[in-house]
Amino acid sequence: MKHLIFVLSAPSGTGKTTIQKLLKNQLKDIEIITTYTTRKPRKSEIKGVDYNFVSKKIFKKMIKNDQFAEWSIVYGNYYGTPKKEIEENLKKNKKMLLVIDTQGGLKIKDRYNNKVLLIGILPPSLKEQERRMRERKDMKEEEIQKRLSISKQERKILLEFYDIRLINKDIEKTVERIKEIILNN
């Protein structure tokens, strides 16, 4: 059986947002599912494209109404994958990409099992990961340290439970490899 749901997860500072944008431009036949979040948008983010930004009140109502295939609290904010979009794409036998954290990835795998392929992206080194986070200049020192600490847990999950793991040394090569995986599975 071919996979229909491709989950891409990576610790903060690994390049997943850039990878997602490049894949979106290059894989026209793949549905990219936009996650809901309660966090504030960054300057470069577009509502409905990068994320569906909603209040905690709306998010909690969506949880109550069973509108998420999975949801988690990450860095103090809620994140969730809309169930309706996944279900509709599964009915159409259409491949889709979810760029979500490792907690969410494991929940999607539990829920949709053999239709899911988990792809983990790792930084070339911890030093490089920290450099990339600092380069963004949108995080305070406390948040950088928190994300670095959480990334240790995420790496363990990626190494233990994810089907495929890639090290993002070169963004173009990483994107090409992910495209190959999606198109051939």
Number of domains present in the structure of the chain: 1
Give mean pLDDT, residues 19-39.
Answer: 92
Answer yes or no: are the C-beta atoms of 7 and 98 closer than 8 Å. Answer: yes
pLDDT for 101 equals 92
Read off the CATH number of the domain in which 98 is found: 3.40.50.300
Residue % of the chain over a pLDDT of 90: 69
Q: Which of 177, 61, 157 lies closest to 109, judged by CA?
A: 157
Give the relative orientation of helices 102-112 and 141-161 as an angle to the nearest 10 degrees: 30
Tokens of 151: 């990334």
Q: Three-state SS for 112?
A: helix
Using 50, 70 and 90 to split pLDDT, how confident is the model at 1?
Answer: low
Per-residue pLDDT tens digits for 54-106: 999 999 999 999 999 999 998 889 999 999 999 999 999 999 999 999 999 99
pLDDT band at 149 (very low <50, low <70, confident <90, very high): confident
Q: Which domain holds residue 162?
A: 5-184
β pairing state of 116-122 and 5-9: parallel
Express each pLDDT in 107-131 by its tens digit.
999 999 999 999 999 998 888 888 8
Longest Cα pair distance anywhere in the chain, in angstroms? 46
pLDDT on residue 74: 84
Helices (DSSP H) in the chain: which residue ranges? Answer: 16-26, 56-64, 83-91, 102-112, 126-136, 141-161, 171-184
How does pLDDT run across 3-20, given as a tens digit for each residue?
999 999 999 888 888 898
Alpha carbon distances (Å) from 53 to 59, 139, 162: 9, 19, 28
